[in-house]
């Protein structure tokens, strides 16, 4: 039996609770996204190494071996992207179904006065459009956060092996933009979850007087 959710908990903790029944799909999605991102970093570095080292030294056997491995890596990356696209969205749809079930179950416990004071169209918009945005975040949010971090850090690591002064300059610029992002937009995700995660509870929709 599934443990009853505490809708008075912090919205981020409540949001994370919806991953628990679909943890297998979530881990599969993240693992495949990790492999696909790593492949994107390997391709340019391997190409540079083969063109600058293997071909000038006439290491043709090693060159064709690396090309074959890159082709297999490309096929693996395509499979991983398919898994991320299909099973990642499948996880998002299931989380959306769980959230919608909890919302509709809660709505059936509300008093008639709540529906007198809140417009039906507004409530339906929260259940459909806004909930869809939250579930898109549930799928793409962790995935984009992880892949972006790996791409940026991996890119800096590879660049440091080629030209470390340029890597330090770009790292400093990137840190400045990161601080600006945290300063201006850091609370946006939490604010969206505060308003969308459920129809009841401390951080959610409250009864408002009708105009």
Chain segment 156-166, per-residue pLDDT in tens: 888 888 888 88
Cβ distance 95 to 19 under 8 Å? yes
Which residues have C-beta within 8 Å of that of residue 18, sequence separation ≥ 6?
95, 98, 99, 138
pLDDT at 185: 64
pLDDT of the residue at 33: 92
pLDDT for position 206: 45
37-46: pLDDT as tens digits: 998 888 888 8
- Position 81 scores a pLDDT of 93
Place of tokens 């959306």: 96
Binned average pLDDT, 10 residues per bin, the chain of 211 residues: 63 82 91 91 86 86 90 92 91 88 84 83 81 82 88 86 85 84 64 52 43 42
Given this model, what pLDDT does residue 205 score? 43
pLDDT at 3: 60
Task: Write down the number of H helices and E strands in the chain.
Answer: 8, 0
Q: What is the pLDDT of residue 190?
A: 57
pLDDT at 207: 43
pLDDT at 34: 92
pLDDT of residue 36: 92
Question: CB of 43 within 8 A of CB of 70?
Answer: yes
Residue 51: how many CB atoms within 10 A of its CB? Answer: 11
| Predicted local confidence at residue 114, as pLDDT | 83
**Predicted pLDDT at 189:** 57
CA–CA dist 121, 208 (Å, integer): 14
Q: What is the pTM of this model?
A: 0.72
């Amino acid at each position: 039996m599934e443990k009853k959710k505490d809708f008075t908990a912090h919205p981020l903790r409540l949001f994370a609770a919806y991953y628990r029944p679909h943890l297998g799909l979530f881990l599969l999605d993240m693992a495949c996204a990790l492999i696909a991102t790593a492949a994107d970093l390997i391709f340019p570095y391997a190409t540079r190494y083969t063109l600058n080292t293997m071909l000038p030294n006439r290491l043709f056997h090693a060159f064709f071996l690396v090309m074959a491995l890159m082709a297999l890596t490309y096929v693996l990356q395509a499979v991983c992207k398919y898994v991320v696209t299909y099973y990642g969205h499948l996880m998002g749809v299931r989380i959306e179904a769980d959230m919608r079930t909890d919302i509709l179950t809660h709505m059936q416990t509300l008093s008639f006065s709540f529906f007198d004071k809140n417009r039906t169209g507004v409530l339906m918009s929260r259940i459909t459009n806004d909930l869809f945005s939250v579930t898109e975040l549930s799928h793409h949010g962790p995935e984009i956060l992880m892949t972006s971090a790996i791409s940026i850090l991996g890119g800096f690591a590879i660049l440091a092996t080629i030209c470390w002064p340029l890597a330090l300059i770009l790292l400093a610029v990137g840190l400045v933009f990161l601080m600006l992002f945290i300063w201006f937009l850091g609370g946006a995700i939490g604010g969206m979850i505060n308003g969308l995660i459920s129809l009841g509870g401390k951080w959610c929709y409250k009864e408002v007087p009708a105009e």
